[in-house]
Structure 1
Amino acid sequence: MPSAPKQGAHGKASKLLTLIDCRLNVTLNDRRNLIGTFLAFDKHLNLVLSDTEEVRSITTPSPPGLPSTKVEKKLRRSLGLVILRGENVVCVTVEGPKPPKPTKRVATGGPGGATGMGRGQPTMGGPQQGLGAGGVYGVGGGGMGRGR
């Protein structure tokens, strides 16, 4: 009978490669959850997440004098770019799919569109101004009425 293929570090790496750019929910051994975009990992299964948000659930007992109920609050804070040590990761789940690949957009004319104006192109109407337009003797092109 053929034996089942062993899944070592290479099998885990190939699965993690398919999750690059996905939104992941990572549970740590201190019961915190980090939700972020998965960027990279290494052989120790350290993870790099961007746009990360920490989510903690805190249960607080009711104030004295009220019926005993526990109130659960979710605290959220933004962390940004995070590197997680693989030893602290307990569970990794996919929170959202990869974002769609951006399509190439070609800029067309419209507001803010560039036109070919600047040096070397005459302006509309009127005489051309500048150094070669009959200004100072000896500077620029030949001035009008001034010979050498």
Structure 2
Amino acid sequence: MSSLRRTSTSSENFRPNDANQTCSSDRHATPFNRQVRGANLGGWLVLEPWITPTLFYQFLSTQQRFGDKAPEKTAMDMYTFCTALGKEEANRQLRIHYETWVTESDLKEMAEAGVNSLRVPVGDWMFNPYEGNSLGAPATELPGVPHGASA
């Protein structure tokens, strides 16, 4: 264990078990005195069928309804969601989802519960849209998150 500790610490100023969690002689180091309490906002801006199954129920039985065209009408992720539904319908459904999946009330409740860090998965298509994307233009802010939000 001690050899692992020696090889994994590249700075002689770093003490792995330092109670202040700082590099003692680094002028950039600051004491970290807040415990990180986080939450993941998965399924909000990046659709995943296992997190947001209700958005994907509409694609059940596409084989029976569309036969050979079923692959074009089936969604398994954000891209295929948009291509299967078309821009207008995908945009309509996504706007409703963005507004209701995570609300300002949810964020307030998390903050009151002590959450001070949020993981917000985002897709590359939000910043560099490609064909079939329902958003149509690059995102300049996260939908539904108050500008300049902080814990």
**TM-score of the alignment, normalized to the shorter chain, above 0.5:** no
Answer with 1 or 2: which has the greater Rg. 1
TM, length-normalised to structure 2: 0.22
Higher normalized contact order (CA 8 Å, seq sep 6+, divided by chain length): 2
Greater helix fraction, Structure 1 or Structure 2: 2
TM, length-normalised to structure 1: 0.22
